[in-house]
Amino acid sequence: MDGSMIAEPRRFSVPISNRFGSGEMSVLEFGPTDRPVDLVFLHANGFNAYTYRGLLTVLGQGLRIWAPDLRGHGQTTLPTVVKGRRNWHDHRDDLIALLDKVEAPSVMVCGHSIGGTTALLAAEKLQSRIRQLLLLDPVIWPPLTTAAFGVPVLSRIPTQVPIVKSTLRRRDVFEARDQAFASWQGRGAFKGWPDEVLRDYLTGGLLPADDGFKLACTPAWEASNYSAQAHNPWRALRRCSGPITILKAQAGSLCAVTPRPGVDVRTVKGGGHLFPMTHANVVIEAVHELV
């Protein structure tokens, strides 16, 4: 994908109100507006819709796409309450509310990581509006681990894992976007990313602050998403009747699902958990095949 040829998506806000609070969900729109929405795309934890601008622009050459910033990410202003949070039902209910605004009988929903799990949880409740799920290495732990996270006395286990602790220590204020770019280019989770994708992440993920720029997704909220694991994607998987396709990372996958009736599971060769950033063409090809 040639970054110089990528058009700017349209941004608008959708009012969301549910038991988790009220606010505005910021949505990027790609593709033609003279057709119903074909695809709703959900980003991974800590990122934002703009991070995926390159691959969504390619898909937008023929499809109309809505890509929201999830609660606590990007330009979405829905409230974030960390204390007492145990699951991703807030993200699920936000997606259900957003789909209610889509003027189409049904849509394909594609989600990466937490976005994929959120899509699956929403499909359990709203199957008639989702005709196809494409899940990009969704976070689905083995069944026994999932069951343990659902037990209140064990629910604090995820708060002790290294990624939660390191996230809480993450720097979240920068003097300039270029400073953040230099800090992360080729390092950690961003290793192997094209420079254009990293810049897109920073465009959507940094907000102006008094002393420069701050992360739109705070370390506390990102860590909360890692530690709030008392939802049940396995139950949702059993109850969903529509076709489901899962693309799993070859290395470091967070998805324990194996092929089963109605669920097609494919491995992305050479891809890690963030393969949509490094292997975007795999996602593009899968969407074109399934839409």
pLDDT digits (tens, 9 = 90+) for 3-49: 434 568 999 999 999 999 999 999 999 999 999 999 999 999 999 99
pTM: 0.95
Beta-strand relationship, 244-249 and 263-268: parallel
What is residue 166's predicted lDDT score, i.e. its pLDDT?
A: 85
| Residue % of the chain over a pLDDT of 70 | 95
pLDDT digits (tens, 9 = 90+) for 54-103: 999 999 999 999 999 999 999 999 999 999 999 999 999 999 999 999 99
Out of 43-47, 72-76, 185-189, 243-247, which region has the weakest mean confidence (pLDDT)?
A: 185-189
Query: Does 1 have pLDDT greater than 60?
Result: no
Q: How far apart are CA 226 and CA 273, in angstroms?
A: 14
Give the bridge partners for 30, in sequence order: 65
Looking from the CA of 21 toward its CB, the CA atoms found within 13 Å total 13
Q: Please state, rounded to an integer, the average pLDDT across all residues of the chain.
A: 93
Out of 121-130, 164-173, 179-188, 249-258, which region has the weakest mean confidence (pLDDT)?
A: 164-173
